Amino acid sequence: MSERRSGLSGALLVAGFVLASLNLRPALAGISPVLDEIMTDVGLSPAGGGAITTVMVVCLGVLAPLAPPLARRFGLDRVLLACLLVVAAGVLLRGADGVIALYAGAAVAGAAIAVMNVVMPGVVKQHFPANVGLFTGIYVSGLVVGAAAASGLTVPLEHATGYGWREVTAMAAVPAVLAAAVWLPQALRPPVAGTAAPRPFRVLLRAPMTWVITVYMGLQSLTFYIVLAWLPTIFKEAGLPADQAGYLLSLTNLVQVAATLAVPLHAGRARSQVPHVTVAALLTVAGYAGVLLAPTTLPWLWMIILGVGQGASIALALLIITLRAPDPVSVTALSAVAQSAGYVLAALGPLVIGVLREASGGWTVPLLAGLGACGLQLAAGFLAGRPVPVQTSVPAARE
């Protein structure tokens, strides 16, 4: 009986972990396919429309430092449970009437996702220390699948149900509540010993590798959120129908699944991750270039190339965070530093692209700016992927 209970407990742990990972991006990805409708309904400019995503990504950065103290006080598992419920509340508020509710709901959901982003690498280190590469790949794949489902199903759900953007985007609350229900048994357990250790922030902030990882995290996120926020609009203005534009965004997110599963397994065993981050950045450049030069010519090909590059990039950024820190406390602290400053940088992407689109009247200048960011991502990734000894890059917490 005890073995059966142990097996059930392990299955619920993995199932809850996977379901939680599926809720890391739908609140963000479900906006872009209906962004035109939102701007028309609420009366927003392109810059104002881009600011919806920007608000959420700013929260991912500014509020990420909340995660370590919350994890110390309540434990990683209970914090994850609370965040899932707050995500559900945020997307429901975002779908309420009015501009204030739109942005406030985006901020609430973004705050919860900010903390989830930080604690997930710590959860991997805490519950799966012998399989960091595998479970990093699993949760990043869940992140990508969640984004793909939201971007690909939003418009079809509108057509199938007859609902507007408010009701359809609010449906992201359903998987969040489901994940919370499955994760509940894990959260009811006493916090794992050691999670109350002090944060090694002072040591982290003095380590050069911390800032290299942070810049890489921010730049790969910036190039990702530009695509997430504006790709369907780019394709629609190039002449593709709205549903096809949404499917193409979904395609690039689905393609990322293969990269997010395979790359951490291989890169996690390698001495250096430099070759991996280099190839990932170059593929991202190729995808951007295809959208810029021939958006309606073989768009599915550009989405596949872009998906492989961006999927590998996010997986590598999160894998490097987990590899460079020796324990769950240090992983959570490094994750907070890297994602806090990194997402503040990334938040500029959708907003700047919207401003450039409004100022230039086309997509050439914005996409050239995106290509420039990809080049900087390549440089930062080269430095972050070096095999720097763990104790040099991120020392463990000290008493």
Asked whether residue 398 carries a pLDDT value surpassing 50, the answer given is no
Please give the single-letter amino acid code of residue 174. V
User: Is the per-residue pLDDT at 222 higher than 60?
Assistant: yes
Residue with tokens 């550009």: 302
Structure-model confidence comparison of residues 144 and 359, the more confident one:
359
Give the residue among 226, 224, 221 at the shortest CA–CA distance from 345. 221
Give me the pLDDT at residue 38, please: 86
For residue 368 the two structure tokens come to: 């050239």
CA separation for the pair 152, 253 (Å, rounded): 9
Give the helix/strand (H/E) hosting 398.
Answer: none
pLDDT band at 388 (very low <50, low <70, confident <90, very high): low
The pLDDT-based confidence of 183 (bands split at 50, 70, 90) is very high
- In the three-class reduction of DSSP (H, G, I as helix; E, B as strand; rest coil), residue 193 is classed as coil
Give the integer Cα–Cα distance in Å for 13 and 187: 10
Quickly state the pLDDT bin for 181 (edges 50, 70, 90): very high
User: Looking at the predicted structure, is the pLDDT value of residue 277 above 90?
Assistant: yes
- The DSSP code sequence of 316-350 is HHHHHHHHT-SSHHHHHHHHHHHHHHHHHHHHHHH
Residue 393 clears pLDDT 50, i.e. is over it:
no
Quick: pLDDT tens for 49-107: 878 877 887 787 788 888 888 988 898 999 999 999 999 999 999 988 888 889 999 99
Arithmetic mean of pLDDT, 116-142: 87
Examine the pLDDT at 3 and tell me if it is beyond 70. no
Across 12-16, 127-131, 392-396, least confident range: 392-396
pLDDT for the residue numbered 342: 81
Instruction: Give the type of residue at 121.
Output: P
Are residues 259 and 224 in contact, defined by beta-carbon separation less than 8 angstroms? no
Model confidence at 392, in pLDDT bands (50, 70, 90)? Answer: very low
Contact 283, 186 (CB under 8 A): no
Distance, CA of 46 to CA of 123 (rounded, Å): 38
